Chains A and B, each alone.
Chain A
Amino acid sequence: MSTVENLPFDPTDEGSQEMAPRGSAGAAELLRELGATLRMSEAEVAELVQEDPSEDQTMIINMGPQHPSTHGVLRLMLELEGETVLRTKPVIGYLHTGMEKTGEDLTYLQGPTNVTRMDYASPLFNELAFSLTTEKLLGIDEDIPERAQWIRVLMTELNRITSHLLFLATNGMDVGAVSMMVWGWRDRERGLRVLEAVTGLRMNHNYIRPGGVAADLPDGWRDTVLGFLDYLPESLDEYDVLLTEQPIYRERLQGVGVITAEEAVALGATGPILRSTGVPWDLRREMPYLTYDQLDFDVIVGSYGDCFDRYAIRLHEIRESMKIVRQVLEKMPRGDYRIQDKKVTPPPRARIDESMEALIHHFKIFTEGFKVPEGEAYCAVESPRGELGCYIVSDGSSKPYRMHIRGPSFVNLQTLPHMMRGGLIADAVAVISSVDPIMGEVDR
């Protein structure tokens, strides 16, 4: 086997971003990678590090960017002793797209197209966060028409269902239940068909825009949605039979990747990870936005904080979302789907030929974009992976001065060292799958 040195090109060395060998790693950094920052006191960590095998016994390997089970281009550097994972360090940035810099170059109307490509498993939530923040800056967040708010709730809950179906499919395949991948995609395709019927696109919809939604619901949307809702429950029971009652699946997930409530809160983890530790925190319930205060649904909370809890939470959140969508079907009011404020919403196509003023508005909104008074605002929504926040600083022009998206997966990735310590590599795969990171949202 030729030695590595005589490679024609130099190794892809990310320098200090990589995991340093045990000897030369700083104490605090070692603490971080051991996942012991909170779990143990200084003394315990000191004697733990002693009892760990010395440097030449362990092996640092790459669970690298191109790996079937790292859900995109996440690179994990693992220090292994045989099969047991001792230290973990996520190295990210392999999908950095400079979206926040591009966001500063696009007008507020073009913003959702840029933002919707961050969390590509549930694109509508990015658009919703961006639109809510822009509306708060414009000061029109109270007078968004009722129908627009209900349509937003309907579409985001449908998107939560398809995102959780994606989780179930990849979680099943990562842990070995490959037929789960096939079933998960079969049902996700039906969900995407409903989204495509309304927004016109399967993904990256650019449907929720500042001021309301892009288009009204097509006629016959009730039967499309009802058709999907009536079909889903018996396939959810199929998943329950396939996964929960299967000893192998339970053995692979129960007791793996345990995290306590204090750790989750201290690390800033939100969403199913926080709820799996028993903290009943769901933004839709605690700090309601849109019309969630008029909806009756439960927050699903786990008990042990392990991978099995997170799977169970997401499986039952699909049922909760279906309950919400059924309530929205009854309460959907009539009215216009976009705010009628001339400055924000372009006039309907027909009126442009008649009135000069509509033509001017149309022209100004689409070329230069509407102006947003200066200030800064932060709004957050409950995305399937946690709290998705959008922080915009505007300087009065028609382009955001600074647009920052708080990606829940970016913060949830920091719980990996805590969950993987001491487990096998197979458990590491189950833990990554239960955190369900979307790399577009992590690397932005």
Chain B
Amino acid sequence: MAWDLSKGLEGLEHNFLTGTLEEFVKWARRMSVMPATFGLACCAIEMMGAGGPHYDLARFGMETFRASPRQADLMIVAGRVSQKMAPVLRQIYDQMMEPKWVISMGVCASTGGMFNNYALVQGVDQVVPVDAYAPGCPPGPETLIHAINTLHEKIRDGHLTRRPGEGLGLHVEQKDGQRSDQPVTLTTAGSR
């Protein structure tokens, strides 16, 4: 059972013995996610509202918004990302410690929203890999908490520990302008 230490839990070959250990680690990660304050625009006010006493992110163990990326493992991109801000966003994402997740809060972060113009990055997934999208402009605190819960489910069901770089290895071929009734061809690229 060679264990390549550098990859940590991911390097462990998944079998009967290590299964419970992995479940425990995933449970621990899910229960204490630390968001980094990345408040950009209006959604930041709603994010603070979610952190406030009424909607209270503390119920999910997330009330402390860490200021520096070193101590955070969840980045909530709350607000519109302008072209000038994109390199800064990427730098902060790179400086966060693994395992790290990204919630794209609000339609401006998810797809550029109502500002389809020169100044905004149309969708933050062009800059950082996004794990959960919170729709709305601004999404109410309940919507943000719902997005956080979906992220927690993703962490708990272990989908993410195989996260670094490979993803699921599915390759979606979608020709532009293709009508919905034609099947989307899925090829599993590379061995799994």
Is chain B in direct contact with chain A in the complex (CB below 8 A)? yes
User: Quick check: is B12 within 8 A (CB to CB) of the other chain?
Assistant: no
If A96-B119, A97-B120 touch, whether A72 touches B41 (CB-CB below 8 Å) is yes
Which residue of chain B lies nearest to A184 when distances are taken between CB atoms in the complex? B52
Find out whether the CB atom of B85 lies under 8 angstroms from the CB atom of A98: no
Which residue of chain B lies nearest to A66 when distances are taken between CB atoms in the complex? B92
Find out whether the CB atom of B45 lies under 8 angstroms from the CB atom of A121: yes
User: Quick check: is A342 within 8 A (CB to CB) of the other chain?
Assistant: no
Find out whether the CB atom of B41 lies under 8 angstroms from the CB atom of A65: no
Residue among B44, B48, B54, B85 making CB contact with A94, cutoff 8 Å: B85
Find out whether the CB atom of A185 lies under 8 angstroms from the CB atom of B84: no
What does the 1/0 interface line of A71-101 toward B look like (CB < 8 Å)? 0110000000000000000000111111101
Shortest Cβ gap from B147 to chain A (Å):
17
CA distance A109 to B85 in the complex (A): 31
Residue among A98, A181, A188, A192 making CB contact with B119, cutoff 8 Å: A98
- Residues in B with CB closer than 8 Å to A72 are 39-41, 44
By size class, the interface of chain B is 35 or more
Shortest Cβ gap from B45 to chain A (Å):
6
Find out whether the CB atom of A186 lies under 8 angstroms from the CB atom of B67: no
Find out whether the CB atom of B82 lies under 8 angstroms from the CB atom of A166: no
Find out whether the CB atom of B138 lies under 8 angstroms from the CB atom of A204: yes
User: Quick check: is A246 within 8 A (CB to CB) of the other chain?
Assistant: no
Find out whether the CB atom of B82 lies under 8 angstroms from the CB atom of A120: no
Which residues of B in the span 135-156 have a Cβ within 8 Å of any Cβ on A? 137-138, 140
**15 A–B contact pairs at CB < 8 A?**
A66-B38, A68-B65, A72-B39, A73-B85, A93-B84, A95-B40, A95-B80, A96-B82, A97-B119, A98-B115, A102-B114, A120-B45, A181-B52, A186-B54, A202-B46
Given known contacts A14-B84, A72-B39, A114-B114, what 9 new A-B pairs fall within 8 Å (CB)? A12-B91, A72-B40, A93-B82, A94-B85, A96-B83, A182-B52, A186-B53, A203-B45, A204-B137
| Interfacial residues, chain A to chain B (CB-CB below 8 A) | 9, 12, 14, 64-68, 72-73, 93-99, 101-102, 113-114, 117, 120-121, 166, 181-182, 185-186, 188-189, 192, 202-204, 439-440, 443
| Interfacial residues, chain B to chain A (CB-CB below 8 A) | 37-42, 44-46, 48-49, 52-54, 65, 67, 79-80, 82-85, 87-88, 91-92, 114-115, 117-120, 137-138, 140
